[in-house]
Amino acid sequence: MTLHTVTIEGGTIKGTAQGGLIYSSTQVTITASSLSGGTAREGGGVFITGVSSSPSYFIDSSISDCTATEKTGLEAGNTGGCFYIDENDASS
Protein backbone atom coordinates (compact mmCIF):
# COMPACT_ATOMS: atom_id res chain seq x y z
CA MET A 1 0.00 0.00 0.00
CA THR A 2 1.34 3.43 -0.92
CA LEU A 3 -0.15 6.72 0.27
CA HIS A 4 1.26 10.03 -1.00
CA THR A 5 -0.05 13.50 -0.04
CA VAL A 6 -3.11 12.03 1.72
CA THR A 7 -4.99 13.32 4.78
CA ILE A 8 -6.91 10.77 6.87
CA GLU A 9 -8.85 11.98 9.92
CA GLY A 10 -11.13 10.47 12.53
CA GLY A 11 -11.42 6.70 12.16
CA THR A 12 -12.85 4.56 14.97
CA ILE A 13 -12.89 0.78 14.99
CA LYS A 14 -14.97 -0.82 17.75
CA GLY A 15 -14.71 -4.19 19.45
CA THR A 16 -11.61 -6.31 18.90
CA ALA A 17 -10.54 -4.68 15.63
CA GLN A 18 -7.15 -3.12 14.96
CA GLY A 19 -5.96 -0.07 13.02
CA GLY A 20 -8.25 2.91 13.53
CA LEU A 21 -7.07 4.63 10.33
CA ILE A 22 -5.09 1.96 8.48
CA TYR A 23 -4.85 -1.83 8.84
CA SER A 24 -2.42 -3.56 6.51
CA SER A 25 -0.90 -6.98 6.03
CA THR A 26 1.27 -5.72 3.16
CA GLN A 27 4.18 -3.30 2.93
CA VAL A 28 3.12 0.29 3.70
CA THR A 29 4.77 3.44 2.35
CA ILE A 30 3.35 6.74 3.58
CA THR A 31 4.91 9.97 2.26
CA ALA A 32 3.98 13.65 2.68
CA SER A 33 0.74 12.69 4.43
CA SER A 34 -1.16 13.49 7.62
CA LEU A 35 -2.99 10.96 9.80
CA SER A 36 -4.97 11.98 12.90
CA GLY A 37 -7.75 11.02 15.27
CA GLY A 38 -7.76 7.23 15.00
CA THR A 39 -9.07 4.91 17.71
CA ALA A 40 -8.86 1.12 17.89
CA ARG A 41 -8.16 -1.67 20.37
CA GLU A 42 -4.57 -1.87 19.05
CA GLY A 43 -2.83 0.55 16.69
CA GLY A 44 -5.13 3.52 17.07
CA GLY A 45 -3.63 5.06 13.93
CA VAL A 46 -1.85 2.34 11.96
CA PHE A 47 -1.68 -1.43 12.49
CA ILE A 48 0.81 -3.34 10.31
CA THR A 49 1.26 -7.10 10.59
CA GLY A 50 2.84 -10.09 8.86
CA VAL A 51 5.25 -8.37 6.44
CA SER A 52 8.62 -9.28 7.92
CA SER A 53 10.41 -9.50 4.56
CA SER A 54 9.43 -6.02 3.32
CA PRO A 55 10.03 -2.89 5.41
CA SER A 56 7.39 -0.18 5.73
CA TYR A 57 8.22 3.52 5.46
CA PHE A 58 6.78 6.67 7.05
CA ILE A 59 8.47 9.64 5.35
CA ASP A 60 7.86 13.39 5.78
CA SER A 61 4.46 12.62 7.33
CA SER A 62 2.70 13.20 10.64
CA ILE A 63 0.48 11.12 12.88
CA SER A 64 -1.28 12.54 15.94
CA ASP A 65 -4.15 12.26 18.41
CA CYS A 66 -4.58 8.49 18.09
CA THR A 67 -5.70 6.17 20.90
CA ALA A 68 -5.34 2.46 21.59
CA THR A 69 -8.10 1.27 23.92
CA GLU A 70 -6.67 -2.11 25.05
CA LYS A 71 -6.03 -1.70 28.77
CA THR A 72 -6.12 -5.23 30.22
CA GLY A 73 -4.40 -8.58 29.91
CA LEU A 74 -0.98 -9.41 28.52
CA GLU A 75 -1.21 -6.71 25.83
CA ALA A 76 -1.78 -3.83 28.27
CA GLY A 77 0.76 -1.09 27.72
CA ASN A 78 1.93 -2.53 24.38
CA THR A 79 -0.96 -1.67 22.11
CA GLY A 80 0.33 1.30 20.09
CA GLY A 81 -1.57 4.57 20.38
CA CYS A 82 -0.45 5.70 16.92
CA PHE A 83 1.45 2.68 15.57
CA TYR A 84 1.35 -1.04 16.23
CA ILE A 85 3.86 -2.88 14.09
CA ASP A 86 3.99 -6.66 14.36
CA GLU A 87 6.41 -8.82 12.33
CA ASN A 88 7.58 -5.92 10.19
CA ASP A 89 10.66 -3.78 9.71
CA ALA A 90 9.71 -0.09 9.79
CA SER A 91 11.87 2.83 8.65
CA SER A 92 11.44 6.58 8.81
- Domain ranges, ordered by start, for the chain: 2-70+80-91
Share of the chain above pLDDT 70, in %: 80
pLDDT of residue 51: 67
Task: Using the Cα atoms of residue 79, residue 80, residue 84 and residue 89 in order, give the sign of their dihedral.
Answer: negative
The separation between CA 37 and the C-alpha centre of its own chain, rounded to angstroms, equals 11
pLDDT at 79: 73
pLDDT of residue 17: 83
pTM of the complete model: 0.80
Which pLDDT tens digit goes with each residue over 46-91? Answer: 988 876 657 788 899 999 999 888 765 555 555 778 888 876 555 5
Average pLDDT, the chain: 82
pLDDT at 34: 96
Q: For residues 46 and 76, give the distance between their C-alpha atoms in angstroms, rounded to a whole number.
A: 17
